[in-house]
Structures are given as C-alpha cells and as structure tokens.
Amino acid sequence: MITRYKTGLASALLALVVASPTLAGDPIRSIELFTRPQASQPQEFQSAQLIAQEWRKLGLDVEVKVMPWEQMADVVWYQRDKWDVTAWQMVGRPERSDPDEIVYNLFHSTTAEKGYNFIGYTNPEYDAVVEAQRVEIDPDKRKELIHKAQEILAADQPNMMLVHPKSTFAFDKTVWKPDSVVNQSGIGIRNTWTFMSLEPQGEQKDIIVNSGDNVQGINPLWISGGVDSWIFELVYDRLARVGPDGLPKPWAAESIEFSDDKTVVVKLRSGMEWHDGKPVTAEDVKFSYEAVVTGEAPMYAPFASNIETVEISDDSTLVFKLKNPSASFVTSSLAKINLIPKHVWEPIIEDLKTKETNAESIQEDVPIGSGPFKFERWLTNEEIVLSANKDHFNAPNADRWILRIVPNVEAALGMLRSGEINFMGEFTGDPQVLLDAAEQDGDLEVVSTIDIGFRYIAFNARRAPFDDPAFRNALSRAVDRRLIVKAAFKGFAEASNSVVSPALGFWHDASVVEDLTTGADLAKKILEDAGYTLEDGKLHYPGDGKEELAE
C-alpha cells in the first residue's frame, strides 16, 4: 500500500493570501481568483479573466492566479480557510441525475468541515429545506422543495453559477461502430455504458481516451476529480447504476425492492468475483456500506447517513433499514457507493483506526474491484491502463481502456486526428474546432449534450468579504453570463444561475435563471445599499463596525 498525503504540497509551492484583520471602512484587500492553466482549461481560464475584468470595475483589486489542478485542489479542499475565490466545476456523474447529491451535499452545513461544502456556506433555512426533500416521497411535493432550494441559493449566491456546458465529445468512427456509442442523458457519450458497449470496426480493440487533468487517485472510498471517476466507475461495481435514460437500475443487485418506505431488500447477482478471483459475498456488500456509515470515508458519509442498519438475511440477500423514508435512496446511495472487497480493506481500515488519517489517504498498489475493467498499470503523468474483465456479467467488447494524460487541448485534437487516441474523452477548447476537424477528416463523429454538471465560481464564505451575501450578489450580478457563454464557451453552453441543470427538466427551476439581471450599475447599487463605499477608485468595507477576520 502507498499512503498518499494530500496536504502540504500547495503550501510549499504557493504564497497564499494572508490578510491582516481590517476594520470597518478599510479598503478591501487584494483578492486572488484561482484558475487552471489556459493550455489545459481554456474555457475556465478565459472565464476567470473576463470575470476579474468586470470585478475590477467595482473598485476591487483582483489577481488571477493560475495553477495546475492537483495544486489548486489541494489548497481549496484541504486548506479551506486559506483562499478567496476559485473557478470550479461539478462534473456530470450519473448519480447526479437525482438532485439530492448536489442540493444537499454541496451546501448543507454538516458537509462544510470535510465534505463537499468546501465554501463553508451555512443557512439554517436552506438546511431545513434540503433535509425535507430527502424524506419527501411524493415527487411533486419534493419538486417544490427542490425549487425552493434553488431560490434560496439564487438569493444568497454562495456560488456564482456560470454555465451548464454542452459536453462535446468525438470518436473515430473507423475504429468504433457508431451505433455502439451510448448518449447518456445529461452526461453525453463519454460514459461507462459507452465504454462497455463500444464495438470495434476492425483490428483495433483498445479504447484510447484523453484527459487534460491528472489522476489524483484510484480509491473507492475517496471522491476525487472527475477524471478519477471515469476510472473507478469501470473498476468498481455498485448495487445499482444510473441507466442511459437517467433512471437507476439494478446492477450488482439482481433486484431492489422497497418492502415499506424505510426497508429496502437487495438480492445480489450470483457468480460475481473480485479481480483477484475471490467471490463477491453479502459480507463484502455489508462491509462496503458499514465502512462508509462508520466514518472511514467522510466524503461518502452523506450518501449513507440515512442507513440505520444493513442486515444479511441469506447468502445473497441484504436488508437496508433506513432512518427516514428516502425518495432518492437507490440513486444517491445504492448507485453511488462502490463495492469493495472485505478481505482487502478490513485490515487497512483496522490499521487506520490507530492513526489520524482515514481511508481516503490510501492508494492500493493494485486496486481490486469487481467491475467490467481490471486495473493493469498506472504511469504517473502519462497513462492508466485497464484491461477488460471478460468474466464480468456485462463484459466489455473492447480489450483495454487506456487513458492518456494530454494537458494541451490542441495536442489532444492532433492525437485524435492522427489515431494516437480514438475517443475524445475531454475537449475544453472551442467545440467548433472539433466539428471542423470532423468535417475535414471524415472519420470523426462529434456529439454535444447539455451536461448535468456545471462550471462556477466558488466564494469562500469563511473569509470576509465573501461571508456577506450582498457582496457575493454584487460580484455575481456584475457579470453577464451571456458573455461567458459566447466568449469562453463559444456558444456551447447554457447560462446558469442554478445548480440543477436544465438537462433535469423535472427538477430545474428555470425562473431563477430568467430572473438573473446583470450589469455593473446594478452591482454597484447593491454594494452601495449594503454600505460599501468607493473612494479614489477603491472599494471599502461598510462603516458599520464590521470586521474582517480572514484567518
């Protein structure tokens, strides 16, 4: 086992903002806005530049700080009181087809210390609403609560929502049969279903995919970057999976039934094996959930917090007892939590109980799952290779799945056109360039899909002035989202003011987007009404006794 230390890197590499306490009426200090590099994330980089430009018009000194993904993630996630503002994204993972994961885990106060609520947002009214939607079984009543949650977020602006991208992917149709590609609702064609179903046209049977970001870890108990999730969705099984239609379906489970509103009976598939050849048992499944319930995997804990007990009734049947009814349980828990082998992880977790670290700090030398692909090798900063698990109940048609790390967007396109990769798993450049290449070459097919995920600017509510909703609102209202869509995303996105994507038509509240008016004059009026003053071109805090405590 290799223990991965996830803190300290950025401290050594980055001179962080250190702000002395300042009194009411003082000028607002210089603000740092983090973004990834232009070469790897041009849309994010350009968005950050445009936003900084608009914020400077309000009298703010804004520095755009560029850093690679691993460094930025380390600062934002593990040094939560040491940064101001960062560009960020939530990727369109299938289990996010139900809005619970986003509206609860991203903003509920209980996830602020170590979980998804890395911005430190707290609002008791909001907590109550998202807690209520979790136990509301009636879809229409739950929809009202999800809409209410979106309205509160739109008023508070804990994040400055930017866009829901049109995820644009391409593949070589001379290598893969087009009718074997699956366009998953809200996800696009780069998904687990596609990677299992791709059928070769000829001799080439390796799926070769690109990514601009590095892989941080392959750990079934740690939720890391979006690229990492591509891998562990292939290596690890779950009791359920979200299907191409956006609805959950049994996966490692043969059946999932509610015997009452708080009792879920799960029958396992027979004949499943771990990649080391040992059988998958009910004990393994029970262990997988209890490892999360008992707190060994804090980032997964919210998805298991409603589980009272997991009982084994026979060799292939488990009974989940819930604390409260849950409309999203199959999607947000059974389709979210990875199944892990007890014989591998039990000794690791027992050892960790004597240490300060938890299971998120572990990287296996050879990750062992039961999924449709097996781990073969990992060359840091270069590639990850998975081989097809031909004994899986849904065995892939391809022989291998190979991820190539290509930080430069233009280089990735060049590799697709030359055949060095045959599936464009990530393209953050101008999608029109991809379409033009497809027209010129004749062997590429391009597909765009509105994503469940979204791009946004995260405000650190732990640090003044971002703890002030009026200040956050002013910064958000200063930026016309149409500018971001047109200039940074070249029209391949939809303007956003909600964490619930329009791809989720039933849950999405279109009114919060329609009501978002913007402009520098409006932003200045919000700041003026809140007591902020502009002196010699520099924005100052309200003169009402408010203090900034940035550390």
Q: What is the pLDDT of residue 357?
A: 86
CA dihedral 317, 323, 328, 330 (to 10 degrees): -10
CA proximity to 467, closest of 150, 156, 13: 156
Distance in Å from the first CA to the final CA of the chain: 36
Task: State the pTM of this model.
Answer: 0.76
pLDDT tens string 95-152: 888 999 899 999 999 999 988 899 999 999 999 999 999 999 888 999 999 999 999 9
User: What stretch of H or E contains 144?
Assistant: helix 139-156
Helices (H) and strands (E) in the chain, counts: 18, 22
CA–CA dist 48, 455 (Å, integer): 11
Contact criterion met (CB below 8 Å) for 82 and 127:
no
Q: What is the pLDDT of residue 22?
A: 58
Residue-wise over 3-13: b if at least 16 C-beta within 10 A, else e?
eeebeeebeee
Q: What is the pLDDT of residue 460?
A: 98
Whether domain 170-237+372-448 has CATH 3.40.190.10: the reply is: yes
Contact criterion met (CB below 8 Å) for 478 and 160:
no
Encoded tokens for 145 = 């609560």
CA proximity to 268, closest of 228, 223, 224, 320: 320
CA–CA dist 122, 532 (Å, integer): 23
Backbone angles phi, psi at 534, to 5 degrees: -110, 115
Positions in the chain short of pLDDT 70: 1-23, 544-551
Q: What is the pLDDT of residue 365?
A: 93
For the domain covering 240-347, report its CATH number: 3.90.76.10
CA–CA dist 382, 243 (Å, integer): 31
Let me know how long the chain is: 551
CA–CA dist 168, 429 (Å, integer): 10
Break the chain into its structural domains and give their ranges.
170-237+372-448, 240-347
